[in-house]
Amino acid sequence: MKNIKYLKPLSPLQKGDDNMGVLENKGAIEYSKGLEGVIAALSSISAIDGEQGKLIYRGIPIEMLAKHSTYEETAYFLLYGELPTKSALDEFVAEMKELRYLPKRVEECILELPPNPHPMDILKVAVAHAGLYDPDQLESCREGVMRKVIRIIAEIPTIIAYYHRARTKQEIVPPNPNLGHAANFLYMLHGKEPDPEEARIFDIAMILHAEHGLNASTFAAMVTASTLSDINSAIVSAIGTLKGPLHGGANERVLKMLDEIGTPDRVEEYVKNALMEKRRIMGFGHRVYKTYDPRARILKQYAEKLSDKYGDRKWISIGEKIEEMMIRELGKKGIFPNVDFYSGIVYSFLGIPRDLFTPVFAMARSVGWAAHVCEYTQNNRIFRPRGYYTGPDYVEYIPIEQRR
Ligand code: CMC
């Protein structure tokens, strides 16, 4: 036993020792719960200033992209590292349109899937399934990998829309080559061309959700890809990770909470009780932002706009009241609205069912996932952190008949 050097604390961790322990044979060593503050990779894709509430994609502020860009252009920019020329963008858009169609077997399978599972689980299954029919499956050259990536990004909206149409017993609506990525999704979902203003709002929401550094789902994709597994497996890992309520699953729960509260005058009591019971208010707080999330600021404007357009201010007025109270109560702790707080109101006015909010997040974020996987694997090293062993050094094995 003498020569074995386990990475373990000298004495059991005490409360307050959460981020630091003295390790046998290693001296003082830091560990970071939830990897907070750990730099796990170099990246030139995006950066967040969590103190000032700023987000840039490859140097361009998110506000500028939301104002001037399209989802397709932003996707190209994130994936290839430069803004496309007019002809490069036309080519990219045409490629995305061509790749929107699902393999026949995948389409048939979606039509037969049960109507009850959460659509994030359907998305996981369908992306994995579609990978089996990917003609570029075995490609490892840059163009082949890019084509696989663009195919997944183009297929995800079709998977979500087809599944929704099938589970609600409506005819599926094939992609419309005259429409852009965001507008085409709304078209396939609703079976009619969307109002151009609403299609643009959805396009902006997609830009805002496209990328966000080494968040949990992107990191999950990178971990999978760092083993030199395939891109479909990496995206499936990311989808499973985004589903959780502490990550992408929060948007769906925000609307549930707004409905539960019902009217603005009930906000005070609801939030007070939730905080007293140590329950989280969904759509608030962030590991990196300690101020207002810039994406939430933009989405709030569109939530306002759509509320006025539809003459229905119920959700926005409850939302604003929650925001006011949360900032008053927890602002000093750095808790502010995040991207998920107002996105659900926007999506609801666009006619997107609640359980599709997180799949729609995945649809946008697929670009960020792919961009990070491509960037990281160009200079790859497998992710393999260490655990901090807190168990005993040696325990005698007791045969089962002697155990009590
Ligand atoms: N409501 C009430 N209190 C909160 C909230 C919240 N939404 N978020 C954090 N806190 C408190 C938390 O209780 C803790 O307090 P104390 O120090 O007294 O124990 C403190 O703030 C720090 O919280 P934490 O859990 O250590 O922070 P974290 O960086 O590990 O977690 C988070 C970040 C996003 C998971 C968390 O803020 C949260 O659970 N938010 C609600 C879920 C949500 O909106 N998720 C979407 C995140 S943004 C988009 C995305 O990633 O999809």
**Domain spans of the chain, in order of start:** 61-244, 250-349
| Winning range, highest mean pLDDT, from 21-30, 143-152, 195-204 | 195-204
Place 136 in a pLDDT band, splitting at 50, 70 and 90.
confident
Q: Looking at residue 124, what is its pLDDT?
A: 96
pLDDT exceeds 60 at position 3: no
Place 1 in a pLDDT band, splitting at 50, 70 and 90.
very low
Q: Are β-strands 27-30 and 46-49 bridged in parallel, bridged antiparallel, or unpaired? A: unpaired
Q: How far does residue 237's CA lie from ligand 1's centre (Å)?
A: 22
Q: Read off the pLDDT of each residue in 218-243 and give the average, rounded to a whole number.
A: 96
Q: Do domains 61-244 and 250-349 have the same CATH topology?
A: no
Write out the H or E segment, with its range, that includes residue 226.
helix 216-226
Q: Is-contact 336 289, C-beta < 8 A?
A: yes
CATH code given to domain 250-349: 1.10.230.10
Let me know the angle formed at the C-alpha of 121 by 120 and 124, rounded to the nearest 5 degrees: 90
- Residues annotated as catalytic are 247, 286, 340
CATH class of 61-244: mainly alpha
Q: Looking at residue 298, what is its pLDDT?
A: 98
Tell me which residue has its CA closest to atom 40 in ligand 1: 285
Q: Which atom of ligand 1 is nearest to the CA of 242?
A: 52
What would the DSSP string read from start to end of 158-195?
HHHHHHHHHHTT-------TTS-HHHHHHHHHHSSPPP
pLDDT exceeds 90 at position 58: yes
pLDDT exceeds 70 at position 52: yes
Q: Looking at residue 134, what is its pLDDT?
A: 87
Strands (E) in 234-359, as ranges, are none
- The answer to whether the CB of 215 is under 6 A from ligand 1 is yes
pTM above 0.85, yes or no: yes
- The answer to whether the CB of 293 is under 6 A from ligand 1 is no
Chain position carrying tokens 């750095």: 334
Q: Is-contact 216 247, C-beta < 8 A?
A: yes
Side-by-side strand order, sheet with 46-49: 46-49, 54-57, 60-61
Q: Looking at residue 15, what is its pLDDT?
A: 46
DSSP 8-state class, residue 54: E
Please give the structure tokens belonging to residue 392.
């005993």
pLDDT exceeds 70 at position 122: yes
Q: How far does residue 87's CA lie from ligand 1's centre (Å)?
A: 44
